[in-house]
Chain A
Amino acid sequence: MSGTPIPGTYLFDGRMARKGYALNKMCYSFNDAKNRQEFRVDEDAYCDRFGLSEEQKLAIKNRSVLALLAAGGNVYYLAKFAGIFGLNVQDIGAQQTGLSVQEFKARLASYAKFNAAVTAGGPSHV
């Protein structure tokens, strides 16, 4: 990717897609309820079946989203992993930013003050 790095932001490019292939493939398998159950029963065996690296296995074990991203995970696939534990994108957003879930939600809600103005920029007859 061209351009200067964007703080706190990781582009899922070819380098990361190669690095994270096994991890993302495992997470892709979680589309199937049977596979989610097999993972729950024996996490280590399930990770080994997909050939995860030690870095990836540790990140899975620690449920660490930032470590999973660094290990090549793509957030859309990681969301399927998080889903096993009933975690949504606000839960993982809080984890990555070091905020509580309530604080993370409050920060998002603070942008609501822009809603009226951006909506009003559209047609006036609505």
Chain B
Amino acid sequence: MSEILGSISTSHVPAIGGAIAKCLQQDPYWKPFFDGFNRAQAWLAEHQPDVAVVVYNDHGLNFFLDKMPTFAIGAAATYTSSDEGWGIPTIAPVGGDQELSWAIIEGVVADEFDVTTCQEMLIDHAVTIPLQLLWPDRTPPVRIVPISVNTVQHPLPSAARCLKFGQAIGRAITGFPSESKVVVVSTGGLSHQLDGERAGMINPEFDELCLNSLVNEPTKLTGYSTHNLVELSGTQGVEILNWIVGRGILGSPTREIHRNYHIPISNTASALQVLERR
């Protein structure tokens, strides 16, 4: 059966893509952020996953508001990135794992999560930047299964629903007869707000509570309504929902291998957390 090794959760701020393109990893502004990834890269080198299940939100590249799925699962052979309008470089196409994609789709629908399936799916910076951070300067040595969560147009799925969705994905993966080793990559967050007069708000206290809770008490986060999450972590801080899905996939309990929290990256409180299944 497939094995879930652990998860790596990271912010996906577009400016990171620009910094990578300009080789600013040693620049004083960026160094504390990029240095945080050394431990995550070492963990990946040690565990050699075959597949990355990437939980993220699309920012108006693959999905427009004409059709906005709450949960969508990629089932493509290859995923390509594209022009997002403001100058982020694209990356080489990344291979998919269609067998695992369909196993997850079968599993979660049987578990009453009626998802949208995507045999074609453009991946935006929320997928490409984490891949570049985890496997710098190379094509990622993993197949990917992208899973998109609507964090853009309210109503959003609740935190409680996201945890259960992740748990259903986890059951589908561990029930899938293959020898694949799977890493979960959850992207987005933590606290940040891009729009409105409150733009630039950051909430380190709530971010810390999220990081601590995700290790072994994710249900501490499922009591927060979407409105609570916006108030506490900002209009885009709701991307914590992607992390909650990812944590659901892992199941319980986990061990925290690594954490790096760094403000500011652009408008965002950036965070990196590596969790390993115990």
Contact = CB atoms under 8 A, between A and B. Distances in A.
B196 A123 contact: no
A12 interface: yes
Contacts of B83: 31-33
Given A65-B195, A75-B194, A126-B39, A80 B84 contact: yes
A88 B212 CA distance: 32
Given A76-B152, A104-B200, A31 B208 contact: no
A58 interface: no
Interface residues of A, number: 59
Interface residues of B, number: 57
Contacts of A88: 14-15, 86, 266
Given A2-B227, A17-B65, A112 B263 contact: yes
B5 to A, nearest CB: 17
Given A2-B227, A21-B65, A118-B204, A69 B196 contact: yes
B196 A17 contact: no
A7 B259 contact: no
SS class of chain A's interface: helix, strand, loop or mixed?
helix
Interface centre among A6, A12, A84 (most CB of B within 10 A): A6
Interface string A5-28: 011111111100100010011011
A59 to B, nearest CB: 13
Contact of B200 (A65, A97, A114, A122): A97
B232 to A, nearest CB: 10
Contacts of A14: 153-155
Interface string B141-181: 00000000000111100000000000000000000000000
B196 A10 contact: yes
26 contacts: A1-B226, A2-B225, A3-B231, A9-B195, A10-B196, A12-B153, A13-B153, A14-B153, A17-B153, A21-B65, A24-B65, A31-B83, A65-B195, A66-B196, A69-B195, A75-B236, A79-B59, A88-B14, A88-B15, A107-B200, A111-B202, A112-B262, A118-B211, A118-B261, A119-B261, A122-B273
Top 5 nearest A-B pairs (CB, nearest first) are A122-B259, A83-B86, A80-B85, A8-B198, A8-B197
